[in-house]
Amino acid sequence: MFDLVCSSSASRTNLAPNDMLASLEHYARTSLVKHDAALFWEGDTVAGYYRVVHGAVRMCKLMPDGRRQVADFFGDGDLILVEFSETHRFTAEAIVDSVICFYPRSAIDLLVQSDARFARQLLGLACDRLMSAHSQMVVLGRKTAEERLATFLSGHARRHPKPNRLMSLPMSRIDIADYLGLTVETVSRVLSKLKRQGVIELPDIHSVRVVDCDQLELMSEGEA
Amino acid sequence: MFDLVCSSSASRTNLAPNDMLASLEHYARTSLVKHDAALFWEGDTVAGYYRVVHGAVRMCKLMPDGRRQVADFFGDGDLILVEFSETHRFTAEAIVDSVICFYPRSAIDLLVQSDARFARQLLGLACDRLMSAHSQMVVLGRKTAEERLATFLSGHARRHPKPNRLMSLPMSRIDIADYLGLTVETVSRVLSKLKRQGVIELPDIHSVRVVDCDQLELMSEGEA
DNA sequence: CGACCGTTTGAGATCCTTCAATACCAGTGG
DNA sequence: CCACTGGTATTGAAGGATCTCAAACGGTCG
């Protein structure tokens, strides 16, 4: 399984987590996390940091009455950047069976303290994530259901460019709904509408083919 | 005016920006930014970093049709952490006449590269902000108008504890609306309702007294 | 004073949610 | 092989929270 640790390539950011974490591989422990199992729960003590070697992870928060918000999705190669606080403020769960690499907190902290270049790279990663988070606020605060789905799909297409424009959506409709601040029904309705309009195709439940990428981009900003 | 640079104390985070930036004061330039004037615009080249010495700043994004989302507010002492990208992805504007300190990018970059401790502190700041951003996603994606206002007010009260619970809201109702993903009218209506219920008082347009803090906290999670 | 701008309040419209029914698919056991 | 079952997804109809449009209010500044 260890060879999987260095197998990923497509990162969400321009940074290379593999380079960045190369000096940590000595301390890393890789494990398999089953579908819907948690990497950690909100309230848990921060024991270390996780990287998705292969699979998919959602980071979410639950309100007392059960309402849920998915703050972010992580795919192959992504480092789950957590706060420097004592306890986790969010729950991380595997969307599908995933290979997860764990780095003890002490190792990361030591490296951050001693290696300015490493700290710089982590900082860059954190700033990129912060920017993405702020962009997502525009989605949640100001966009219509159709614009939200268009933003989600075109963003996904941009991050995971595929030869035939067929990309996989490992997460369920509920996950998408909770990520976009909508209900499952609305997500389903809008996807059906986009399909009817010929903007996308839905070969199977976890696949989307973006037929008209430009149109999708326009829709994502309400310019269609 | 230079003495103002070191005057602030109440930070949003547990880090001390003043300590952190002490070694940068040599390169810093302080200036006055008028009410509603921009520190920088979306699309501008990132020339450096800004810190609010005294005053208040909003960071926001505009959609093509004029819809606006305020991603964050910055108060006395806050460092406006920007991405390491070439251009600004958001616009920063002064909410009131503000004293703003500017640090050239080269100086910060150099320090980040050379001083692991400094980089570590910036990283901590970035992670804190990231966490706040994720929390705001819950607000924007899943909370009702009443819960949003309650969250905003109790969060503000927690960050700016005042002896008589009288805190200032320098931003306009529109700013609050654009921060919470609501309309001005809804913000106004909910504030009136909270006032009627005796949870808050509104001595003047830019002041709020939190009468029942516990109730507000409960309301912010939909447990009232 | 009077114009202006931001805020508050009211009434009707709308988009999304809620509730409900149906469809679909994989797995299981007869 | 097929019926059964549980879970997820889709589709429909009705309701509701928030938005939109509109008017009144209130403070500020010339």
Question: Do residues B216 and B197 lie in contact, with contact meaning Cβ atoms separated by under 8 Å?
Answer: no
Chain-centroid distance, C-alpha B157: 13
Q: Which residues contact B56 (CB under 8 A, 6 or more apart)?
A: B73, B74, B75, B94, B95, B96, B98, B170, B171
Those of residues 44-103 in B touching chain A at CB distance below 8 A are: 59, 61, 63-65, 67-69, 71-72, 81-85, 89-90
Residue A192 has pLDDT above 90, yes or no: yes
What pLDDT is attached to residue A11?
Answer: 40
Residue B99 has phi, psi (to 5 degrees) of -95, 120
Q: How far apart are CA A57 and CA A79, in angstroms?
A: 11
Structure tokens at A60: 């979410």
Residue A22: band (very low, low, confident or very high) from pLDDT cuts 50, 70, 90: confident
Mark yes or no for CB contact A115/B114 under 8 Å. no
Q: Which residues contact A52 (CB under 8 A, 6 or more apart)?
A: A8, A74, A75, A76, A77, A78, A80, A98, A99, A100, A101
Specify the amino acid at residue B72.
Answer: D
What pLDDT is attached to residue B190?
Answer: 98
pTM score above 0.75: yes
CA distance, residue A43 to nearest chain B CA (Å): 14
| pLDDT tens string A117-137 | 888 889 999 999 999 999 999
What pLDDT is attached to residue B23?
Answer: 73
Write the residue in B69, B131, B142 that is nearest to A137 by C-beta: B69
Residue A4 has pLDDT above 80, yes or no: no
| pLDDT tens string B135-176 | 999 999 999 999 999 999 999 999 998 888 999 999 999 999
Residues of B in contact with A65 (CB under 8 A): 222-223
What pLDDT is attached to residue A113?
Answer: 86
Return averaged pLDDT per consecutive 10 residues of chain B, 224 residues in all. Answer: 36 52 83 96 95 97 97 97 87 97 92 86 93 98 98 96 92 98 98 98 96 97 93
Q: Is the CB of B178 under 7 A from strand D?
A: no
What pLDDT is attached to residue B18?
Answer: 57
Question: Do residues A92 and A36 lie in contact, with contact meaning Cβ atoms separated by under 8 Å?
Answer: no
Which nucleotide, over all strands, has the C1' atom closest to the CA of B185? C8
What pLDDT is attached to residue A24?
Answer: 78
Measured from the Cβ of residue B37, the count of other Cβ atoms closer than 10 Å reads 12
Residue A16 has pLDDT above 70, yes or no: no
Measuring CA to CA, which residue among B142, B56, A43, A89 is closest to residue B151? B142
Provide the pairing of β-strand A29-33 with A79-80: unpaired
Measuring CA to CA, which residue among A8, A163, A175 is closest to residue A101? A8
Q: How far apart are CA B157 and CA B170, in angstroms?
A: 14
- Please state the length of chain B: 224
DSSP state, residue B198: T
Could you please report the per-residue DSSP string of B79-117?
A: EE---SSSB-SSEEEESSSEEEEEEEHHHHHHHHHH-HH
List Cα–Cα distances, A112 to A118, A119, A214, B192, in angstroms.
Answer: 6, 5, 41, 49
What pLDDT is attached to residue A18?
Answer: 57
- Summary mean pLDDT of chain B: 90
What pLDDT is attached to residue B19?
Answer: 64
What pLDDT is attached to residue A76?
Answer: 96
Q: Which residue has the higher pLDDT, A188 or A164?
A: A188
Residue A175 has pLDDT above 70, yes or no: yes
Residues of B in contact with A178 (CB under 8 A): 141
> For chain C, which bases have at least one atom within 7 A of a protein Cβ?
6-11, 15-20, 25
| pLDDT tens string A57-102 | 999 999 999 999 999 999 999 999 986 789 999 999 999 999 999 9
Q: Map A175-196 to HEC letters.
A: HHHHHHCCCHHHHHHHHHHHHH
Measuring CA to CA, which residue among A56, A57, A53 is closest to residue A1? A53
Residues of A in contact with B222 (CB under 8 A): 63-65, 67
Q: How far apart are CA B136 and CA B102, in angstroms?
A: 27
CA distance, residue B86 to nearest chain A CA (Å): 12
Q: Which residue has the higher pLDDT, A119 or A47?
A: A47
Mutation for testing the B interface, residue in A138, A152, A182 having most B CBs under 10 Å: A138
Average pLDDT of A170-199? 98
Mutation for testing the B interface, residue in A68, A142, A186 having most B CBs under 10 Å: A142
> Separation of CA B171 and C1' D22 in angstroms?
25
Write the residue in A142, A178, A181 that is nearest to B69 by C-beta: A142
What pLDDT is attached to residue A5?
Answer: 36
Q: How far apart are CA B161 and CA B68, in angstroms?
A: 29
Mark yes or no for CB contact B134/A133 under 8 Å. yes
Sheet strands side by side (includes A79-80): A29-33, A98-104, A48-54, A79-80
